[in-house]
Every structure is written in C-alpha cells, then in structure tokens.
Amino acid sequence: MPTQPGPLFLNRELSWLEFNARVLAEAFDERVPLLERLKFLAIFGTNLDEFYMVRVAGLRRQVAGRFANAAPDGMPPQEQLDLISARVREMIEAAQRCLYGDLLPRLAEYGVRIVAMADVTAVERQGLDAFFAAQVYPVLTPLAVDPGHPFPYISNLSLSLAVELRDPERGVDRFARVKVPKSLPRWVPVPGRTNEFVPLEEIIGSQLGALFPGMQVVSSHAFRITRYSDLELADSEESEDFLALIEEQVFQRRFGEVVRLEAQAGTPPAVRALLLDELREPEDEDALPLADADIHEHGPLLDMGDLLALAGLELPVLRDPPFTPSVPAPLREPERSIFEVIRERDLLVHHPYDSFAATVEQFIEAASRDDAVLAIKMTLYRTSGDGAIVRALTEAAERGIQVAVLVELQARFEEVNNITWARTLESFGVHVAYGMPGLKTHAKVALVVRREPDGIRRYVHISTGNYNGKTARVYTDIGLFTCNEPVGADVSDLFNLLTGFSHQRVYRRLIVAPTGMRERVIQLIQREAAHAREGVQGRIIAKMNALVDRETIEALYDASRAGVRVDLVVRGICCLRPGVPGASDNIRVVSIIGRFLEHSRVWHFANGGAAEYYIASADWMPRNFSRRVEVAVPIDDASLHPLLASLLRTCLADDRQAWDLTSGGSYARRLPEPGSDRATQQRLLRDSWGLFSG
C-alpha cells in the first residue's frame, strides 16, 4: 500500500542544499590541501549558481503560476523557497568565513595572495595602470542610465560594477554600469610579485575616472545576476528541425527572468533599490518578480567559481599528490589488440583509477584504424569536442567506416558546444542524429561491428559516465567491455531506436528507460522482499548520485519492512528518510564526498544466493526513469563480481569521506578512530579496485 507523503519523504531541494553543504565542508577540512580546499569553495559557488538557474527558478515559476501541487514531502513551493533562502544565507555566510577567515590568511603564508589596489606600491600601480590601458580599457563599454539611455541588458552570471556619479557642472547625480569582461582573466598578477593577484574589477574600479572624464565618481560596487536558464521544449515533438529548436531556445535563455541579485557588501541602499527596481519586472507573465528577499549581499568578492583558476596554481605542496591512472593488466600486452582481450573475457574498468586513454579512447581509436571494422556507433552526451574520441570518429568516417553518433543537444549547459562539434562530425561524413523528441539520451554506449573469420561480431562498451577524457580524470565511473552476443544485439536494437523508427520495448539483457527501467528496478527490490518473507536473507546495495523517485522509495520501504537489509550510497539528493521505525529501520544511507566526484551507479541484489550486479547510466529519479533514454547492464561474468563487491564494501566502510544521513534529514560526518583511515578514494588510488578485506 502506498505510503502517505510528508514524514517519510525528504524535500528534494533541501536535500540538494545539504549536498552542497557537504561540498562546502571540504573547504573547511584541514586534512585537505589548501588549494584543493579553495577548489571546493569554487565548486560550492558554481553548484549554487546552477541550483538557482534551474531549481529555484522552477519553484518561482510554480509560485507565479499558483500551482497547488506540492512536492512528495508535502511542502508547497513558497515554503520551499523560504527555507531555501534561509539555508542559502547560512551557507554563504559560512563560505565567506571560510574564505576570508581561513583560506586566504593560510594561503598568504605560502605567498598566495589576493591583493587590493590600495595595497600595491606606486611602481606596481604603474604596471597595473599600463595593463589597464593596453588590455582592459579597449574592451570596456560604460553604459549610462538616464532618460535617454534605458537600463542595459545584463547577461546571466556576469560581473558588473554599479557606478554612482555626480556631474559637477550640473550638480546632477548619475548612474552607470560597467561590465567586467569575461574575456580577460579575473585575477591579474601584481607586477614583480609571484602568485599575488588583483581582482580585475578592482583595477577597473580604480580607473573609472578614465571611463567617465569630467565626472565625479561617488562609489562603485560589484553586482551579479542569475537568470532562469532551463530549456523549454514542450513543442519539440512537433518541431520539424530539432537542431534549430535547440538553437532558438539557447538564444532565448539569455533573456530569462532574473531570479537572484548578488551585491557586494557595502552597496549603498539607493544603488540596491535602483538595481532591484530595474530588474524586478520579468517580461514573462509566468515568472515571479524579483523582491528584496532575492538580494544576497556578500563579498567583497563575488562569483566564487572564479577561485577555481587560483586553485590551479602549480604549487605541489598545496595540491593533492599527482597520480598516474593504471592500465588494466590484460591491456598491457602490446602484441594483443583490445578486441582480442574483449573476445577472451569481459573487462571492467574503473575511472579515474584505470586510464581512460588506454581503455575507452584506445577502443575507439583501434576501431577507427582497423580494416576489419564495418561500423562504429556511439551516444555522446557530454564530450570534449577536441578530444581523442571525436578525432577517431572523424578519421574512421574518412576511411570509409560507417560511423553513426547520437548527439544529445539537450545536455544542460553543453548545448552550444554539442551543436558545434556535432556539425564538425557531420562535415566529415559522420551520420549524426540529434536525439528523440521529448527525451534526453543519457545512455553511455559504444558499439563496434567487426568482420571476423567466424562471422560478424559486435564489441560493446557500456558506461556509467560520459565519453569525456577531461571529466574521466575527476569523475569516478565504471565501464564494461564485452562481446556478449545478447548484449550486442540489444545495443544494435537500441541504436535502431535512437537513429531510426522503432518501438522496441523488450530487450534480452539490457534494462532500458523509459520503456521499463523503473518497473524492473522495483521488481528487483520486490524480489528481495519476497526472499526475506520466505526466510532467506534479503540484501540490496545501490550506489548512485541521487534517489528521488517516489515509487522506488516506497518499494525500498516495503523491502525494509520485510526485513531486507538495504545500504544506499547516494552522493547527492536523497528523498528517502532512513531509520524511521516501522518503515526504514533496515535502510542506511551514506554519502561520499572527496577528491573525485562519485558518479558511478552500481546495483547489487543478493537474489537468494545467486547474486546480481548491474552498472547503469541512470539515477533512481523520475527524470531518468520517464524522460530519458538510459541503460543498465547486468554484469553476467561472475568472476567480475568481487570487483564490484569490493567497491561497495569499501564505500560502506569509509570512515573519512563518508556522511551518514539521519532520519531527520541532516548528515553526520564519520570520523575515524585513531590510527584508522578507510577513505574510499585514497584506498582505491592505492589498491586500484580495492581488492582487500574489511
């Protein structure tokens, strides 16, 4: 029987904020090297930007549209917004304390400083003035605001200076806006100093007299806005040109309503009021006007995401120690091709511990050079347009190999990049499909069709992560290489669905969304519950990025009541409330935050002793189950099960990077006993797949 909403469900948006709070906690953690702590502070800031652009903006539209539907936890949209606002202000205050009270003073001990213009010498000032005159001044466009000059368009997430001026001849107060150009570095080196920088906006602020000659500069303060930035594709199924529709939506996104105004600490009330008044009224009637509660005043530095550039300084003593990804043993024999290895047995790879270049990129590159290869097919969600995979695909097409690529144009905030390199692929003769109307293709699948002495053979790679060599160095993901015939046949059917006309719903081995993944996951959970009711120990361990889907959560509650022991490793959002008497007594939820972004999805079901393991592209969320093309694949080779069992065991035993979700919705950090350190990622860096006991 379905559970009632409310006490058994945690709010999705507040759960996400607690995830970002765990990211922020890494910036406070003295066990983390200083520049890595600065990196986490930058990630915290960029995470918050996206949260406002999409999630907060969506809630505001619900309020504006007077939607009565509440979230599964029973909380109406306005209440969610109020709680989000209060929590975000707490987090920003903590982030400011971290930056100014801890990180910057500590970094200064190592010679890394952010310097104010007031603190540079006369000689250094001359060098900065010369930099301004040569590099900055030609780029700037001061924009006046008066009856003859309407308030200018402000782009999303751009940093600007709000300038108060006085005309000494007329005795009239004026206002102007100066955009801090993104095309120039935010942190300008102080001449003659090493690793000391002046923020670009301070240099501009010190030179406002050159921009407004004859005017008296009264004040200047930085501000920044956040706009609604999600795509709206309600009519995508009727569109004759999906690519053109995406391009139009990306263009229109630039004019989304303002949902947040960040102002530098000390901004005069009159300037705040002017900005709020000019930005208040959205053009879209479905949008909520900006209000005082939507102003976040902090600083002096806005846009913490830019701290990522400073976090990249080459100071090894302040960075995580470097590591070299390993090459799986079967691929270390130069005389054997990767196809020989896969023909012999299935292969699991775990990035970033296993080299992406020596496995995934090598797979596609080898296929592009192989005269026996007839076709290469791939799904590309987020990739690097100038990376080895795209180069290999173009080379294969030039050699006459049939190459078909499904490019997902709706990958959030990657739309422009994906359009650009998709057209590049087309120019080389690659067959490019742009996804299915109404669905995002989030599956990570590659297929190589090869002619061999005993007939046609299909080689498959299925992964939990994107085909992106850059993110493969910082995201943890698992991939399966196989030439299993039923899996290969399923992948062929999947590509026929993606690139042609097909109503394929039944697959031999793959679990595919949106045609049945939710149903299959719930069946697997219910099977464990049935075993438990029959007296056989039920066991579920699932690792993912987010758990939101209500039906799946209800199935997990039912399994817990039946006596199934459930362990969930959920990095981010979790709407399931663990440890509730009579509902989730047997469910434990842990989140792991560390050097790498935990991105792999692994499912384990004990199945009465006949254990099953799956890897998947999907989280257990409504969007993954219902609005995306996703793939989960069983790991049929039982000899590979200990690798996945070891990974899951390592995550659950973590006492350094792990946080336990409490029944109240908060997270408690695990602290190691003296002499103990079971940090998941450190152990895997040391032991690769972590084949150890405990």
* CA separation for the pair 461, 353 (Å, rounded): 18
Of the pLDDT bands very low, low, confident and very high (cuts 50, 70, 90), residue 503 is confident
Nearest to 313 by CA among 191, 203, 187: 187
Q: In the structure, what pLDDT confidence band is assigned to residue 500 with cuts at 50, 70 and 90?
A: confident
- Note the pLDDT tens digit of each residue in 398-425: 999 999 999 877 655 555 666 767 778 8
Residues with Cβ within 8 Å of 105's Cβ and at least 6 positions away in sequence, in order, are: none
CATH topology of domain 113-241+260-302: polyphosphate kinase like (3.30.1840)
More confident residue, 238 or 108: 108
Mean pLDDT, range 327-351, rounded to an integer: 94
Least confident of 35-49, 363-377, 382-396: 382-396
What pLDDT score was predicted for residue 426? 84
- Residue-by-residue DSSP string for 46-81: HHHHHIIIIIIHHHHHHHHTT--PPPTTS--HHHHH
What is the pTM for the complete model shown? 0.92
Q: What is the rounded average pLDDT of the residues 3-13?
A: 75
* Model confidence band, residue 673 (pLDDT cutoffs 50, 70, 90): confident
Q: Which helix or strand (DSSP H or E) is residue 681 part of?
A: helix 680-687
The active-site residue out of 350, 351, 442, 604 is 442
- Tell me if domain 329-507 and domain 512-687 are identical in fold: yes
For the cut 90, the answer to whether the pLDDT of residue 379 exceeds it is: yes
DSSP string of 91-156, one letter each residue: HHHHHHHHIIIIIHHHHHTTT-EE--GGGS-HHHHHHHHHHIIIIIGGG---EEEBTTBPPPP--T
**DSSP 8-state secondary structure symbol assigned to residue 326:** B
Alpha helices by DSSP H, listed for 476-534, are: 485-499, 517-533
pLDDT at 684 over 50: yes
Please give the Cα distance from 646 to 400 (Å, whole number). 43
Residues 241, 34: contact at Cβ < 8 Å?
Answer: no
Q: Which burial class, exposed, middle or buried, applies to 291 when counting CB atoms under 10 A from its CB (0-12, 13-18, 19+)?
A: exposed
Number of H helices, E strands in the chain: 21, 27
Is the distance from CB of 27 to CB of 95 less than 8 angstroms?
yes
Superfamily of domain 329-507: Endonuclease Chain A (3.30.870.10)
Sequence ranges of the domains in the chain: 113-241+260-302, 329-507, 512-687
Query: What is the rounded distance in angstroms from the CA atom of residue 535 to the CA atom of residue 537?
Result: 6
Question: Using CA atoms, how far apart are residues 377 and 499, in angstroms rounded to an integer?
Answer: 10
Tokens representing 463 are 């992964």
Tell me the pLDDT of the chain averaged across its residues.
90
Q: Give 676 or 117, the one with higher predicted confidence.
A: 117
Measured at the CA of 450, the angle between CA 448 and CA 456, to 5 degrees, comes to 120
Q: What is the CATH number of domain 512-687?
A: 3.30.870.10
String of DSSP letters for 347-362: EEEEETTB-SIIIIIH
Report the pLDDT averaged over residues 71-90: 92
Task: Give catalytic status of residue 442 as yes or no.
Answer: yes
